[in-house]
Structure 1
């Protein structure tokens, strides 16, 4: 489940990959969805990046140390990442926008 600026989106495709201590979660497809990278070695686990593509009229990203904020958690086999991403409104791509997001994926 993905929520962007209060709008819930339920993409049908969720994929989870792990390389060493990094978990990548892909929700949706290349045209519309989100990609999350989590560092599971960090204590507590840390969201390294979140890329949102054309969800609820928003495209943008969060990247650790590059502005915005994100918080990651894990419980009941579900990773949850929430925070703020910078980007643009897909209806008016020449206008910068900020979005509050929450992504939950069962991996």
Structure 2
């Protein structure tokens, strides 16, 4: 008797699926990135598939689109965060899975880890 066990997983989306482009301080980071987009209620979660380097962004879409948080993890050499009403500032626009988030995140660059900075960012995503 032969017993076979199989497991399935959903592959990461190909480019042309769910993607994002990111600029930090005016420099585009790593071209077009595959991202995972999940909607829970009025919230959209957009994140790179890998843990590091990567980013996670949260948007609220119940009325006007608003940015709730963005966290960069050594993405383009920058680690930092925006948290609404707490750290940095940002705004979001868009609809139907196509969103743009622009703002500033507080953190540091890998090549100057002890120097605190506020970096300008722009995330354009097509979920």
Judge same fold: TM > 0.5, yes or no: yes
Off by >3 Å, runs of 4+ in structure 1: none
Root-mean-square deviation (CA, aligned residues, Å) is 1.6
- Flag structure 2 segments of 5+ consecutive residues without an equivalent: 1-20
Greater strand content: 1
TM-score normalised by L of structure 1: 0.89
TM-score normalised by L of structure 2: 0.76
The structure that has the greater radius of gyration is 2
- Number of residue pairs aligned between Structure 1 and Structure 2: 106
- Give the structure 1 partner of residue 79 of structure 2: 59
Is 1:101 the equivalent of 2:121? yes
Local SS of the residue matching 2:33: coil
Local SS of the residue matching 1:95: strand
Is 1:12 the equivalent of 2:12? no
- Give the structure 2 partner of residue 26 of structure 1: 47
- Flag structure 1 segments of 5+ consecutive residues without an equivalent: none
Partners of 1:11 and 1:33 within 8 A in 2? no
